[in-house]
Protein backbone atom coordinates (compact mmCIF):
# COMPACT_ATOMS: atom_id res chain seq x y z
CA UNK A 1 0.00 0.00 0.00
CA UNK A 2 1.08 3.60 -0.65
CA UNK A 3 1.41 5.69 2.46
CA UNK A 4 -0.10 9.15 2.87
CA UNK A 5 3.40 10.67 2.92
CA UNK A 6 4.28 8.98 -0.37
CA UNK A 7 1.08 10.30 -1.96
CA UNK A 8 1.84 13.81 -0.74
CA UNK A 9 5.40 13.62 -2.07
CA UNK A 10 4.12 12.36 -5.45
CA UNK A 11 1.58 15.19 -5.64
CA UNK A 12 4.21 17.77 -4.74
CA UNK A 13 6.53 16.41 -7.44
CA UNK A 14 3.72 16.60 -10.01
CA UNK A 15 3.03 20.20 -9.05
CA UNK A 16 6.70 21.05 -9.63
CA UNK A 17 6.83 19.25 -13.00
CA UNK A 18 3.69 20.84 -14.48
CA UNK A 19 5.01 24.44 -14.53
CA UNK A 20 8.38 23.21 -15.87
CA UNK A 21 6.68 21.27 -18.67
CA UNK A 22 4.43 24.24 -19.45
CA UNK A 23 7.42 26.59 -19.68
CA UNK A 24 9.27 24.17 -21.96
CA UNK A 25 6.19 23.81 -24.17
CA UNK A 26 5.93 27.59 -24.51
CA UNK A 27 9.62 27.80 -25.44
CA UNK A 28 9.23 25.16 -28.14
CA UNK A 29 6.05 26.79 -29.49
CA UNK A 30 7.79 30.17 -29.64
CA UNK A 31 10.76 28.58 -31.42
CA UNK A 32 8.43 26.95 -33.96
CA UNK A 33 6.86 30.32 -34.75
CA UNK A 34 10.29 31.94 -35.16
CA UNK A 35 11.61 29.18 -37.38
CA UNK A 36 8.47 29.07 -39.51
CA UNK A 37 9.33 32.65 -40.50
CA UNK A 38 12.91 31.51 -41.14
CA UNK A 39 11.76 28.71 -43.42
CA UNK A 40 9.55 31.06 -45.42
CA UNK A 41 12.64 33.00 -46.50
CA UNK A 42 13.56 29.88 -48.54
CA UNK A 43 10.93 31.00 -51.08
CA UNK A 44 13.19 33.91 -52.06
CA UNK A 45 15.36 32.07 -54.64
CA UNK A 46 12.25 30.85 -56.48
CA UNK A 47 10.82 34.37 -56.55
CA UNK A 48 14.19 35.76 -57.67
CA UNK A 49 14.37 33.20 -60.49
CA UNK A 50 11.07 34.57 -61.75
CA UNK A 51 11.94 38.25 -61.19
CA UNK A 52 15.03 39.23 -59.19
CA UNK A 53 14.05 42.90 -58.92
CA UNK A 54 10.65 41.94 -57.55
CA UNK A 55 12.31 39.70 -54.95
CA UNK A 56 14.55 42.59 -53.85
CA UNK A 57 11.59 44.97 -53.59
CA UNK A 58 9.55 42.36 -51.69
CA UNK A 59 12.33 41.76 -49.13
CA UNK A 60 13.08 45.47 -48.69
CA UNK A 61 9.41 46.40 -48.43
CA UNK A 62 8.61 43.55 -46.06
CA UNK A 63 11.52 44.44 -43.78
CA UNK A 64 10.54 48.11 -43.67
CA UNK A 65 6.88 47.26 -43.03
CA UNK A 66 7.82 44.94 -40.17
CA UNK A 67 10.07 47.63 -38.64
CA UNK A 68 7.19 50.11 -38.83
CA UNK A 69 4.78 47.63 -37.23
CA UNK A 70 7.26 46.76 -34.51
CA UNK A 71 7.87 50.41 -33.64
CA UNK A 72 4.12 50.81 -33.28
CA UNK A 73 3.88 47.70 -31.11
CA UNK A 74 6.55 49.04 -28.77
CA UNK A 75 4.61 52.33 -28.61
CA UNK A 76 1.47 50.41 -27.66
CA UNK A 77 -0.24 50.49 -31.05
CA UNK A 78 -0.89 46.94 -32.20
CA UNK A 79 -1.28 45.92 -35.83
CA UNK A 80 -3.35 42.87 -36.81
CA UNK A 81 -1.41 39.63 -37.19
CA UNK A 82 2.07 41.21 -37.27
CA UNK A 83 2.07 42.35 -33.64
CA UNK A 84 0.59 39.09 -32.35
CA UNK A 85 3.08 36.97 -34.30
CA UNK A 86 5.94 39.09 -33.04
CA UNK A 87 4.78 38.72 -29.45
CA UNK A 88 4.50 34.94 -29.87
CA UNK A 89 7.96 34.66 -31.41
CA UNK A 90 9.76 36.98 -28.99
CA UNK A 91 12.51 35.50 -26.85
CA UNK A 92 12.92 36.33 -23.18
CA UNK A 93 15.70 38.76 -24.06
CA UNK A 94 13.29 40.59 -26.42
CA UNK A 95 10.59 41.32 -23.85
CA UNK A 96 9.84 45.03 -23.81
CA UNK A 97 12.26 45.63 -26.67
CA UNK A 98 12.23 45.92 -30.45
CA UNK A 99 12.34 42.34 -31.78
CA UNK A 100 15.23 42.54 -34.21
CA UNK A 101 15.25 39.01 -35.64
CA UNK A 102 12.87 39.53 -38.61
CA UNK A 103 14.80 42.67 -39.62
CA UNK A 104 18.17 40.89 -39.73
CA UNK A 105 16.51 37.93 -41.45
CA UNK A 106 15.19 40.16 -44.23
CA UNK A 107 18.51 41.99 -44.49
CA UNK A 108 20.47 38.74 -44.68
CA UNK A 109 18.40 37.49 -47.61
CA UNK A 110 18.35 40.93 -49.27
CA UNK A 111 22.13 41.39 -49.06
CA UNK A 112 22.66 37.89 -50.42
CA UNK A 113 20.61 38.78 -53.50
CA UNK A 114 22.34 42.13 -53.97
CA UNK A 115 25.93 40.95 -53.43
CA UNK A 116 26.03 37.52 -55.02
CA UNK A 117 24.90 36.01 -58.31
CA UNK A 118 23.45 32.52 -58.44
CA UNK A 119 24.21 29.90 -57.28
CA UNK A 120 25.94 31.71 -54.39
CA UNK A 121 22.87 33.80 -53.55
CA UNK A 122 20.54 30.80 -53.49
CA UNK A 123 22.88 28.70 -51.34
CA UNK A 124 23.34 31.63 -48.94
CA UNK A 125 19.57 32.06 -48.53
CA UNK A 126 18.94 28.33 -48.12
CA UNK A 127 21.69 28.25 -45.49
CA UNK A 128 19.92 31.06 -43.66
CA UNK A 129 16.50 29.43 -43.94
CA UNK A 130 17.33 25.81 -43.24
CA UNK A 131 20.79 25.79 -41.67
CA UNK A 132 20.23 28.50 -39.09
CA UNK A 133 16.54 27.64 -38.73
CA UNK A 134 17.01 23.93 -38.05
CA UNK A 135 20.03 24.52 -35.82
CA UNK A 136 17.94 26.57 -33.41
CA UNK A 137 14.90 24.33 -33.58
CA UNK A 138 16.78 21.03 -33.17
CA UNK A 139 18.97 22.55 -30.48
CA UNK A 140 15.95 23.77 -28.54
CA UNK A 141 14.01 20.49 -28.76
CA UNK A 142 16.72 17.83 -28.80
CA UNK A 143 19.89 19.62 -27.70
CA UNK A 144 21.59 17.83 -24.79
CA UNK A 145 25.32 18.11 -25.42
CA UNK A 146 26.57 21.68 -25.07
CA UNK A 147 30.39 21.70 -24.90
CA UNK A 148 32.13 24.90 -23.89
CA UNK A 149 33.65 25.50 -27.33
CA UNK A 150 30.14 25.84 -28.82
CA UNK A 151 29.44 28.75 -26.46
CA UNK A 152 25.99 27.61 -25.38
CA UNK A 153 24.97 26.01 -28.66
CA UNK A 154 24.31 22.26 -28.86
CA UNK A 155 26.10 19.54 -30.83
CA UNK A 156 22.72 18.36 -32.14
CA UNK A 157 21.85 21.83 -33.43
CA UNK A 158 25.25 22.26 -35.09
CA UNK A 159 24.93 18.88 -36.81
CA UNK A 160 21.46 19.83 -38.05
CA UNK A 161 22.90 23.05 -39.49
CA UNK A 162 25.76 21.19 -41.18
CA UNK A 163 23.54 18.54 -42.77
CA UNK A 164 20.88 21.03 -43.89
CA UNK A 165 23.39 23.34 -45.61
CA UNK A 166 25.31 20.42 -47.12
CA UNK A 167 22.17 18.98 -48.70
CA UNK A 168 20.76 22.33 -49.83
CA UNK A 169 24.05 23.41 -51.39
CA UNK A 170 24.58 20.05 -53.07
CA UNK A 171 21.08 20.25 -54.53
CA UNK A 172 21.81 23.70 -55.99
CA UNK A 173 25.44 23.28 -57.10
CA UNK A 174 25.81 19.51 -57.63
CA UNK A 175 29.32 20.01 -56.21
CA UNK A 176 29.94 17.96 -53.06
CA UNK A 177 33.31 19.56 -52.23
CA UNK A 178 31.90 23.07 -52.53
CA UNK A 179 28.85 22.07 -50.50
CA UNK A 180 31.06 20.60 -47.79
CA UNK A 181 32.93 23.89 -47.39
CA UNK A 182 29.67 25.86 -47.40
CA UNK A 183 28.27 23.60 -44.66
CA UNK A 184 31.43 23.93 -42.55
CA UNK A 185 31.38 27.73 -42.81
CA UNK A 186 27.68 27.88 -41.96
CA UNK A 187 28.16 25.64 -38.91
CA UNK A 188 31.10 27.68 -37.63
CA UNK A 189 29.28 31.01 -38.03
CA UNK A 190 26.06 29.65 -36.51
CA UNK A 191 28.01 28.55 -33.43
CA UNK A 192 29.23 32.10 -32.76
CA UNK A 193 27.37 34.11 -30.08
CA UNK A 194 26.00 36.66 -32.57
CA UNK A 195 22.36 36.49 -31.43
CA UNK A 196 20.11 37.96 -34.15
CA UNK A 197 23.06 39.17 -36.23
CA UNK A 198 23.85 35.62 -37.34
CA UNK A 199 20.95 36.14 -39.77
CA UNK A 200 23.28 38.50 -41.64
CA UNK A 201 26.69 36.96 -40.95
CA UNK A 202 25.76 33.39 -41.87
CA UNK A 203 24.33 33.93 -45.39
CA UNK A 204 27.03 36.44 -46.29
CA UNK A 205 29.80 34.07 -45.17
CA UNK A 206 28.26 31.11 -47.00
CA UNK A 207 27.58 33.14 -50.13
CA UNK A 208 31.18 34.39 -50.18
CA UNK A 209 32.46 30.84 -49.76
CA UNK A 210 30.41 29.56 -52.70
CA UNK A 211 31.34 32.58 -54.80
CA UNK A 212 35.09 32.27 -54.18
CA UNK A 213 35.42 28.47 -54.31
CA UNK A 214 32.80 27.93 -57.00
CA UNK A 215 34.36 30.34 -59.44
pLDDT in tens, 12-54: 444 444 454 455 555 666 667 677 777 889 999 999 999 999 9
pLDDT in tens, 79-88: 776 666 666 6
pLDDT for the residue 13: 46
Domain ranges of the chain: 4-214
- Give the span between the Cα atoms of 71 and 73, in whole angstroms: 5
- Rg (alpha carbons) of the chain, rounded to whole number: 20
pLDDT for the residue 21: 43
Contacts of 122 (CB under 8 A, 6+ apart): 45, 48, 172
The residue with greater pLDDT, 109 or 99, is 109
pLDDT for the residue 92: 61
pLDDT, averaged across the chain: 81
- Give the span between the Cα atoms of 79 and 102, in whole angstroms: 16
Say if CB 142 and CB 156 are below 8 A apart. Answer: yes
Say if CB 201 and CB 207 are below 8 A apart. Answer: no
CA distances 24 to 71, 85, 99, 138, Å, are 29, 19, 21, 14
pLDDT for the residue 96: 66
Amino acid sequence: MISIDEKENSTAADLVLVPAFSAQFEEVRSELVRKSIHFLIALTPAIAAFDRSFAVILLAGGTLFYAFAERNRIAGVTMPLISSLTAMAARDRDLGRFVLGPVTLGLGALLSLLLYPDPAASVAIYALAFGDGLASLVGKVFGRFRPAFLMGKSVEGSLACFVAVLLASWKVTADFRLSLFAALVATLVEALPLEDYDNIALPLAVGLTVRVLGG
